[in-house]
Structure 1
Amino acid sequence: MTALSLAAAHDLVADALIRSGTAPEAAASVARALVGAEADGLKGHGLTRTPIYAGQVKSGKILGDARASFKRAAPAALVVDAGNGFAYPALDIAIAELPKVARETGIAAAAIRRSNHCGAAGRHVEALAEAGIVALMFANAPASMAPWGAKRPLYGTDPIAFACPIPDRAPIVIDMSLSKVARGNILAARQRGETIPDDWAFDAEGRPTTDPDAAIAGLMAPMGGPKGVALALMVELLAAGLTGGGYAFELTSFLDDVGGPPNAGQFILAIDPAAFSANGPERFGLMVQAVEAEEGARLPGARRLAARARAAAEGIEIGETLIAEIEAV
């Protein structure tokens, strides 16, 4: 393993993407997202994605020179077009614009279309919460989960993320995929040459598997059984049906360079707490205090924030093989 500072890791990723044909501004946006996820301990959305993204740019599956754009389609509605490029520049636009609109209208929403893999969804809503906004995000992904009782995958792992500002401390962030684990965890295990627990996924025949290759070719296990796949249906309708993106079963893979742009979608809801309550943030803080007063209780994100602080001070540990793969792009 090699220790890299966050700045060095950022340059490693950005340089590889630029060599692959990505515009420098987009490469910087992607690098911020991947290094941020890596620092938070979310390795499935971290630097392991760099060679995959680079290959997709080279093949034209991601348009490296795309320029994201937006329009205000209604007083509280933004439509953001990622242009079949990376999701991150489009998300940067939404994060910049939504607080301004929400403070005018109380509630604002952004529909992102012609998009791609959005990485760690919690980081995007966290940025909105740092601006004082309560935020919800829904994102779809290529099909990997079947409706309950069926075998054909129609839904993605389809993350839901939520963030809420808390006075004088980091926001509360909840980020969960609707599969038992995020698919990125299986990808990371495959790249490390490791097996996975037998309750994470099924092979193509519907049998539990510990083989990450068989899991990627098969089905993800849903979180909470039928409740998980019901929530995935909700996400598909919001992130794809509402935005004009492709449904999970229409998307090309996020994991290879085969086929055209995936046309994924994301939907973000932004709420200005001041529009509804004069003391909303203080009430949010009271809930946090109540949770923390309970012996053994832990708020979501505690490990993530600890990992982030440690990475800022000590850098991040990256395997030599991965560094070599990125440098060889």
Structure 2
Amino acid sequence: MNIAADALEALALAALRRAGASEAMAVAAARCLVAADMQGLGTHGVARVPTYCAHLRSGRARGDAVPAIAREKGAACLIDAGNGLAFEACERAVAEAIRRARARGAAIGAVTSSHHCGALGILLEPIAEAGMVGLAFSNAPAGIMPWGGKRPVLGTNPVAAIFPRRGEAPLVIDMSLTQVTRGQIMLLANAGKPIPEGWGMDAEGRPTTDPQKILVGGSLYAVGGLKGTMLALAVEVICCALTGAALSSEMASLHLASGAPMRFGQAFIALDPAACTGSSVYLERVEALVAAMLADEAVRLPGSRRVEARERAAREGIVIEDALHRELEALASQA
């Protein structure tokens, strides 16, 4: 079915509030999830609301958590999300990174005791709006085996970067470090469909086309083989060792309704071009690079498809599955 963005956001907000999320927590989550749907990222949109609601009801996520600065020093700070939903805490970390980078040229806002944070590129948008370069990292439940290993230890560990441009939408690079995201597998599982061969393995390390066997206890193939595995290791250290969050191997599957809090870790970095080569030179160099890329008419700039999808959704609404809409309505009215 087709639904207007504001109506979908209100529905997601109501469902999260009914499940126990505070007003601020639910507003931040609903806003980011609908933004993902508007940008064509259905794997990280309101399809996540039923899982979040289950976690809020079971205690895997705390609806009364209030993000707070746990530690800070100069250009760095650590936000404790209190095991609540991630979005409010991540937005606080991004705001702190921007504020500190304005004063010091570069800054990091990290988050601990967090939860799944959706599409990282969306969380970075305020950094680009401030004229800065942004980087983001998150760990996730274990899904990648260490090189030569037999069981998943590293998360899918998404990374994102955003680069402001002169008078144009920013360049946005946003990806997990696996061949496909768990979100893509989740959508196929919800639809009762198998997955293609070569996406992942079951808990015994055997290739499988059953999405449930990958989502619970299974593993995914790292992008780029050894190189992707090493990048996943680097993100794991950044998001866990620097923040004190749970290791990916210490988390149970996101797709389990109950259990211990997830305790994700995230990190957001803001870099002010004015502190390096200067904003004017930075913008000139970015535009020169973009022009060189677009000299080949087949090139598509990273992030451009999101802009097109967002503009289309603003005009025409967002398409979601009828079954998902019914589930959201049920959650929004659930006692």
Q: TM-score, normalised by structure 1?
A: 0.97
1:50 and 2:49 matched: yes
Question: What is the percentage of aligned positions where both structures have the same residue?
Answer: 45
Superposition pairs for residues 25-40 of structure 1, below 5 Å?
Answer: 25-40=24-39
Matched residue SS, 1:170: coil
Q: For 1:85 and 1:205, locate their aligned partners in 2 and report how far apart those are by CA, in whole Å.
A: 32
Contact 2:97 2:108 in 1 (8 A): yes
Aligned to 1:303: 305
Contact 2:215 2:255 in 1 (8 A): no
Aligned to 1:228: 228
Superposition pairs for residues 1-329 of structure 1, below 5 Å?
Answer: 2-70=1-69, 73-217=72-216, 218-278=218-278, 279-329=281-331
Structure 2 counterpart of 1:311, which letter?
Answer: A
Q: For 1:10 and 1:161, locate their aligned partners in 2 and report how far apart those are by CA, in whole Å.
A: 24
Contact 2:87 2:117 in 1 (8 A): yes
Of stretches 317-326 and 5-14 in structure 1, the one that deviates more from structure 2 is 317-326
Cα distance, 1:169 vs. partner? 0.6
Structure 1 counterpart of 2:198, which letter?
Answer: D
Aligned residues between the structures: 328
Matched residue SS, 2:209: coil
Structure 2 counterpart of 1:37, which letter?
Answer: A
Of stretches 315-324 and 297-306 in structure 1, the one that deviates more from structure 2 is 297-306
Q: For 1:190 and 1:39, locate their aligned partners in 2 and report how far apart those are by CA, in whole Å.
A: 22
Cα distance, 1:101 vs. partner? 0.9
Contact 1:81 1:115 in 2 (8 A): yes
Contact 1:33 1:119 in 2 (8 A): yes
Q: For 1:106 and 1:127, locate their aligned partners in 2 and report how far apart those are by CA, in whole Å.
A: 16
Contact 1:110 1:269 in 2 (8 A): yes
Cα distance, 1:71 vs. partner? 5.4
Q: For 1:130-159, what per-residue CA distance to the aligned partner results, in whole angstroms no more than 9, with x for missing partners? A: 211101111000111111221111001000
Structure 1 counterpart of 2:87, which letter?
Answer: Y
Cα distance, 1:45 vs. partner? 0.8
Root-mean-square deviation (CA, aligned residues, Å) is: 1.2
Cα distance, 1:295 vs. partner? 2.7
Of stretches 114-123 and 282-291 in structure 1, the one that deviates more from structure 2 is 282-291
Contact 1:164 1:173 in 2 (8 A): yes
Unaligned 5+ segments in structure 1 are none
Q: For 1:313 and 1:194, locate their aligned partners in 2 and report how far apart those are by CA, in whole Å.
A: 31
Unaligned 5+ segments in structure 2 are none
Cα distance, 1:72 vs. partner? 6.2
Cα distance, 1:111 vs. partner? 1.4
Contact 2:151 2:203 in 1 (8 A): no
Q: For 1:141 and 1:40, locate their aligned partners in 2 and report how far apart those are by CA, in whole Å.
A: 22
Q: Please identify runs of 4+ aligned residues in structure 1 that moved more than 3 A.
A: none
